[in-house]
Amino acid sequence: MIVVKVPGGIKKEVSVAETLTLEWKPMTILQWLGQLGIEEKQVGAVLVNGKPKKMSHTLEDGDEVQILPVLSGG
Amino acid sequence: MDNILRINTRTRTIQYETTPESYLKTGGRGLIAKILLDEVDPACEPLGRHNKLIFAMGLLTGTNVSSASRVCIGAKSPLTQGIKESNSGGTTAMRLAQMGLKAMILEEQPEDDHWHYVKISKGACSLEPAEAYLGMGTGEFCDAIHKLYPGAAVSCIGPVGEMLYSSAGIATTDADHKPGRFSGRGGLGAVMGSKKIKGIVVLGKDTMPLADKEGFMAALKTYTSVVKDAPSTLNYRTLGTASMVRIMNGHGGLPTHNFSLGRFDGMDQICGETIFDVITERGGDGRTSHACMPGCVIQCSNIYPDIEGKAIVSPLEYENLGLLGSNLGISDLDTVARLNALCNDMGIDTIETGAAIGVAMEAGVAAFGDSEAALGFMEDIRRGTVLGRVLGNGAVVTGKVFGIRNVPAVNGQAMPAYDPRAIKGMGVTYATSPMGADHTYGATARAQIEQASSVGQAELSFSTQKNMAVYDTLGFCIFCSGAVGNQHQLIADLINARYGWSVDVPWLKSIGEETLKNEHLFNQKAGFTKAHYKMPECFTERVLPGVNTVFDVGQEELEQVVEAHLEGRRTLKP
Ligand code: SF4
């Protein structure tokens, strides 16, 4: 199982934050985002067990994933 | 309390004035616009004696409200010939406010060759001789000052400000007393140099008076927890603005090879995730998160170390990764960090410099990706060779000298790291800002909108510009805006408890609108017409590969944005 926290507004149709528990599969973050219907460019960062990881990172069983929204630069 | 400090750099007289009634309920960028309109002839020459350099404090600056003590600096710009306000983090504004100052105005210019720095403490201000510091970089100057006055807050110029380059900025010390925060844009460093002032040095700390201490503490508690717990805050704290590298590349809007492309092959080497890993591995001075001013709970800044763990630059952030990295075809992070550090030390705007070098590279002065050449240009700029002076006067001058028409600039100022063809709301902001291309004037990149479509972008930019104007007028960091969202009452509560006022959310909105109106009025009086607010042809006629579009928001829509601000309208359409 993996636990994925998705902030509100990242998917157009879901305005509130949700926490999803999903059956683990050996997929990269990018593939998981695709499965969840989230566009990569809507994602500010992905933390896996609290550490930022690249889109090519493969998730492991038991991972806790937090998706963060995009921010404006400076 | 809340005086205006006026320094005449010709007669070297110093005056404390009571803040006029009409200035009391504004601050930061809004106060700068008011003072410029009231005191400076908009048609004046930016480097002449009639221009004034203004430091203005926000309404909550100096208190312990998180991220509310940006230093707002303004003048008529030698780069754009229009109004300019450029704010940064650091400690100067906090200390100036604690010294009882609402604003500081530097006016006139010396008739002799003597340079000074301004020394300010509670109730006292003096001009101290600065000849011994001429030619020093911002780092060396601050070290010398800190030997005399340990812990002083400093805002200063480097050698390029002394040489009056149009892209010279003003550096401000951060919470660790290092001059890494920049009011970089618009050539304000040259305005300071034209008055022969090397720096502002603020000694001492104090607490701010509070009309309703209990109410303030309660409002502060709520505000702090909202900002601390917001998901956007966690992102700022983890990757900082560097997280935008991957996202902009995804949008096809990451400036690459002088804005000829929007996706960079070396993206993976300069993205936020890689920076996080490099900083963590190298350790030493490195920090993945860092506060530029005391009390900031967001802490978006970082410290990037070399292989030995010794700090190269702080912060290393998105605009610089874009302009000094992908825009120059440079994917070596250490080189980008060094270019950034060299810009900071000589006191030049990183965005303008990256854009100018990009134009020179398109002209074939060096190849894209040539790190050695880029580092060599830095040496030219600092030493004041002819090539260095060309580059140091910005992208537009560089384009003219080398006969290049692909110049990413609006009204004389280079674009930050968002290609306006991919992020069209940002394009509207660049074109309609009275300060030239400036992302902080209305950053639209996080909006839920089809970024490359022209539909709705004028409305989006218009409303974002109004929101940003509120934050800038309050002296707040715009990175709070993601956390605060629509809960503006939180800010009104803090202001009311600080001053004993009863302002509300519509009032907050109105101070932003007033700021925008005054800024456009200043430019109108300086000779700007609606036709000045446009996107250059290299973006309206040259297709951006990958996104396959030009900037196609119509000129009428751009003019409508300017008109709406000038008329102080709530809505874009009348
Ligand atoms: S969020 Fe970043 S830029 Fe803003 S005040 Fe905090 S550290 Fe400074």
Using 50, 70 and 90 to split pLDDT, how confident is the model at A9?
Answer: confident
Q: Check if the beta carbon of residue B14 is closer than 8 Å to that of residue B6.
A: yes
Give me the residue from B250, B273, B482 closest to A71, CB to CB. Answer: B482
Q: B3-202 domain in CATH 3.40.50.1970?
A: no
Q: What pTM, to 2 d.p., does this model score?
A: 0.96
Using 50, 70 and 90 to split pLDDT, how confident is the model at A74?
Answer: very low
Mean pLDDT, chain B, whole residue set: 96
Which positions in chain A touch B275 (Cβ < 8 Å)? Answer: none
Using 50, 70 and 90 to split pLDDT, how confident is the model at A12?
Answer: low
Q: What is the CA radius of gyration of chain A?
A: 12
Among B97-106, B219-228, B230-239, the minimum mean pLDDT is found in B230-239
Report the C-alpha gap between B436 and B347 in whole angstroms. Answer: 20
Task: Express each pLDDT in B46-90 by its tens digit.
Answer: 999 999 999 999 999 999 999 999 999 999 999 999 999 999 999
Q: Do A71 and B232 touch (CB under 8 A)?
A: yes
pLDDT for res B486: 83
Give me the residue from B246, B272, B317 closest to A74, CB to CB. Answer: B317
Task: Express each pLDDT in B308-343 by its tens digit.
Answer: 999 999 999 999 999 999 999 999 999 999 999 999
For residue B513, give every residue at least 6 positions away whose Cβ sits within 8 Å of its Cβ, in sequence order, or none.
B466, B469, B565, B568, B570
Using 50, 70 and 90 to split pLDDT, how confident is the model at A72?
Answer: low
B477 lines ligand 1 (CB under 6 A): yes
pLDDT for res B235: 85
Q: What average pLDDT does this structure show over B469-497?
A: 92
Q: What average pLDDT does this structure show over B506-527?
A: 97
Dihedral sign, Cα of residue B197, residue B199, residue B204, residue B209: positive
ipTM for the assembly: 0.91
Residue B11 has pLDDT above 60, yes or no: yes
B300 lines ligand 1 (CB under 6 A): yes
Task: Express each pLDDT in B386-431 by its tens digit.
Answer: 999 999 999 999 999 999 999 999 999 999 999 999 999 999 999 9
Q: Do B231 and A55 touch (CB under 8 A)?
A: no
Residue A13 has pLDDT above 80, yes or no: no
| B457-474 helix and B555-566 helix, angle to the nearest 10 degrees | 30
CATH fold, domain A2-69, is Ubiquitin-like (UB roll) (3.10.20)
- All structural domains of chain A with their residue ranges: 2-69
Vertex B254: Cα angle to B252 and B260 (nearest 5): 85
Task: Express each pLDDT in B373-386 by its tens digit.
Answer: 999 999 999 999 99
B478 lines ligand 1 (CB under 6 A): no
- Looking at the complex, report in whole angstroms how far the Cα of residue A65 sits from the nearest Cα belonging to chain B: 13
Measured in whole angstroms, how far is the alpha carbon of residue B69 from the centre of its chain?
A: 14
Residue B477 has pLDDT above 70, yes or no: yes
Task: Express each pLDDT in B124-159 by its tens digit.
Answer: 999 999 999 999 999 999 999 999 999 999 999 999
Please name which of B296, B348, B301 lies closest in space to residue B475, comparing C-alpha atoms: B296
Mutate to test the pocket of ligand 1, among B288, B320, B479 (most ligand atoms within 8 A of CB): B479
For residue B281, give every residue at least 6 positions away whose Cβ sits within 8 Å of its Cβ, in sequence order, or none.
none
Task: Express each pLDDT in B535-574 by its tens digit.
Answer: 999 999 999 999 999 999 999 999 999 999 999 999 999 8
For residue B233, give every residue at least 6 positions away whose Cβ sits within 8 Å of its Cβ, in sequence order, or none.
B227, B297, B298, B482, B483
Give me the residue from A52, A68, A74 closest to B231, CB to CB. Answer: A68
B66 lines ligand 1 (CB under 6 A): no
Measured in whole angstroms, how far is the alpha carbon of residue B320 from the centre of its chain?
A: 12
B230 lines ligand 1 (CB under 6 A): no
B186 CB-side CA count, 13 A: 28
3-state secondary structure A12-55: CCECCCEEEEECCCCCEHHHHHHHHCCCHHHEEEEEECCEECCC
Q: Do B250 and A41 touch (CB under 8 A)?
A: yes
pLDDT > 70 in chain B, percent: 100
Residue B1 has pLDDT above 70, yes or no: no
- All structural domains of chain B with their residue ranges: 3-202
DSSP state of B267: H
Q: What average pLDDT does this structure show over B237-262?
A: 96
Secondary-structure breakdown of chain B: helix, strand, coil percentages, each rounded to the nearest 5: 45, 15, 40
Task: Express each pLDDT in A21-32 by its tens digit.
Answer: 999 999 999 999
